[in-house]
Amino acid sequence: MTIVEQVNNEMVRAMKEADKFTLSVLRMLKSALQLEKINKKHDLTDEEAIAVIKKQVKIRKDSIEEYTKYNRQDLVDNLTKEVTVLSKYLPEELSESEIIKVLDEIFTELNPTGPESIGAIMKKATEKFAGRADMKLVNTLVREKLTK
């Protein structure tokens, strides 16, 4: 079953259970998936659907940071619940130690000479992690490793 089908099935379940919060989050997600489908002009693959979901999660996490600065705990709590609902459709993310292990392999393979190599490293890392790691963390770890 594809991720899009999972979302549709969960929407039906949320309707039957009268779970208004989950239903509203899933409707928003379905809308974002539908928009991406229209833009791509074909049915979304699971990888494309995951990219859309990750983007939605990232938007909410950025908003959580902003609302935290302004002490809007009510909005932070709401967005945190939305992130929880959306995260069910994402693959398990790698831990920092697993990311470092893969980065060590990439560094051994590419043998970077300095900060100018960051583009090649990040390109290879994006291929290897394919939605299973927080690329912001990966970028930070790569920069730390290059400065050592």
State the pLDDT at residue 117: 81
pLDDT digit string, tens, across residues 80-135: 999 999 999 988 888 888 888 888 888 888 887 777 888 888 888 888 887 778 78
In CATH, the architecture of 3-87 is Orthogonal Bundle (1.10)
State the pLDDT at residue 115: 79
Q: Tell me, which fold does domain 96-147 have in CATH?
A: Arc Repressor Mutant, subunit A (1.10.10)
Distance of CA 81 to the CA centre of its chain: 15
Instruction: Please state, in angstroms and rounded to a whole number, the distance separating the CA atoms of residues 121 and 59.
Output: 25
| Tokens representing residue 128 in the block | 């290897």
pTM of the model: 0.75
Q: Which residues contact 128 (CB under 8 A, 6 or more apart)?
A: 102, 106
Instruction: Please state, in angstroms and rounded to a whole number, the distance separating the CA atoms of residues 84 and 22.
Output: 10
Asked whether the predicted pLDDT for residue 59 surpasses 80, the reply is yes
Residue boundaries of the structural domains of the chain: 3-87, 96-147
Q: What does residue 133 show for φ and ψ, rounded to 5 degrees?
A: -145, 155
